[in-house]
Amino acid sequence: MDVLVNQGHSVSTEPFDDQKPGTSGLRKKVARFQEKHYVENFIQSIFDTLPELAGGSLVIGGDGRYFNDQAIQTIIQVVVANGVEKLIIGKDGLLSTPAAAHLIRHTNSDAGIILSASHNPGGPEGDFGIKLNMKNGGPSPQSITDAIYENTKSVRTFKKIDCHSVDLASTGQTQVGPALVEVIDPVQDYADLMETQFDFDAIRQMPVRGIRMVFDAMSAVTGPYACEIFENRLGFPSGTVINAQPLKDFGGGHPDPNPVHAHELFDRMMSEGSPEFGAASDGDGDRNLIVGRSCPVSPSDSLALLAANAHLVPAFSKGLAGIARSMPTSSAVDRVAEKLGVPLHVTPTGWKFFGNLMDAGLVNLCGEESAGTGGAHVREKDGIWAVLFWLNILAVTSKSVQDIMTDHWQTFGRTFYQRHDFEGLDETRASEFFSALEKEAGNLVGRGVDGLTVVSTEVFEYKDPTTNEIANNQGVQLFLDGHSRLVFRLSGTGTTGATLRVYLERLETRPEAFSTDVADSLSGLTKLYQELLNLKHSLGVTEPTTVV
């Protein structure tokens, strides 16, 4: 049916000064997005930057957090007025980020607008975000986001049609003025894709053999996907997926899949009689947590193990073309790539850098320390894909998570790894501190504590081999004797203040030391960075707010 539409018109506006997208789009507090014309200005700036989107098709969806449905109705009015001829929207406004990335490619759409703040909290007091993905399904490159930001600083009018709200609760097609709006099942196409990636027949034998799993959807978008795939298609019993209903405020939780925020899953997996396998995903479905019975798996270890066992999985039946990791991610996967003779690429943080490499056929497995793993099936990290990858390996090997990890460390050594986050810092003070660190990093060579000595430093710079674009000042690395490393960077995913991330890494090759507590193994590195940086004086902090 048609939705009553008045003629599109231009609306006068004033620019906002804070619409610079970060590594994962524009993220702010919900209240900021609710301000008059805030959403319209940003969407109009996308079309001012990419006028070629007029006449094309667009995928729209999000993680269902608070303000998702209102934002979609506003976006419909602006994009139709700007000439988009077809909109594909997930039912109830839902699309996980990897499902949206797939849908863009699957429907040959021209771009996608994903509404999410990923792993950040939701609700009226929480966060919201808008991200533009390109025709390849991946996040827009920095050249595009920089141009959008420039347009946000000068936008004075936006185009808009006046129309009744589009019914997103039912699948089907609706005519909105000259544009066709199609509301689709957000799960079906993605679930079908997963069946082409993994050996579902082998995985179906796991519940038959009495192997139990639990998946925590964290009251976020992956609940419907997980129920369809793990329970309906793979045969794990009803109730395998917990917190399966997507909620606007994620049930009051923080949908970040780590032991701190996924404590319900973590406590269950550490208890007597736990399932053999546990997993979780985040707000928009692109991150993952893997945990065996009394055996948590760090994201960096997970990437290395998946690379070492990729030959067991149909998605990699033609082999590994190459592997990519973000610079802060541990070097555990480097040793796997070296042994396999597979090219390794080290990029800045941000999945868009991986997308370029995948488009060029240079890599087909990528990962970040912040619980993101993915392949060339889409151009985003993919939480459920990573969980299925693990299930496929478990099904084929008939080993436990603990046994697989132990075998891996026996071959490659264990890389002890942690990330210390200092959140809510004063932005000006943090920026000045980090600029000084970049300039003075070289002077830290020769400094040390308790036998750990800085032997070299680097301010990380990346030249994209596919575009020749340069990404400068992507973090500071301190390389230490004994195969240890410290990395410092300012994060671009928060919405309040600045976040300093400190990454600690140490390789252990003695099997008798593999069971050492992670914090104990890295205590020397912790002491070293605290003494070198003097954060109490520089930033007024002494202890990290979060350790993962």
CA separation (Å) from 35 to 17, 137, 430? 13, 29, 28
546-547: strand order across its sheet: 448-449, 452-459, 476-480, 484-490, 498-508, 414-425, 546-547
DSSP 327: T
Q: Which parts of the chain register pLDDT below 50?
A: 1
- From CA 369, how far away is CA 418, in angstroms rounded? 9
Phi, psi (degrees; rounded to nearest 5) at 49 = -80, -40
**Residue 20 pLDDT:** 94
Element containing residue 445 per DSSP (H, E): none
Please name the residue that has the structure tokens 């109830």: 92
**Residue 491 pLDDT:** 83
Do 94 and 186 contact (CB within 8 A), yes or no? yes
Do 193 and 222 contact (CB within 8 A), yes or no? no
Which amino acid is present at 510?
R
Do 361 and 353 contact (CB within 8 A), yes or no? no
Positions annotated as catalytic residues are 118
Do 85 and 56 contact (CB within 8 A), yes or no? yes
Please name the residue that has the structure tokens 């936008």: 155
Residues 6+ apart with CB under 8 A from 440: none
**Residue 3 pLDDT:** 62
Cβ neighbours, 10 Å, residue 402 = 14
- From CA 139, how far away is CA 443, in angstroms rounded? 37
Distance between alpha carbon 108 and the CA centroid of its chain, in Å?
A: 23
Output the CA angle 169-172-177, nearest 5 degrees: 100
Query: pLDDT, tens digit, for every residue of 435-472?
Result: 999 999 999 999 988 889 999 999 999 999 998 989 88
Of 94, 422, 153, the residue nearest 283 (C-alpha): 94
Mind listing the domains of the chain with CATH numbers? 2-186 (3.40.120.10), 190-412 (3.40.120.10), 414-547 (3.30.310.50)
- From CA 74, how far away is CA 11, in angstroms rounded? 13
Do 345 and 322 contact (CB within 8 A), yes or no? yes
pTM: 0.94
- From CA 107, how far away is CA 57, in angstroms rounded? 9
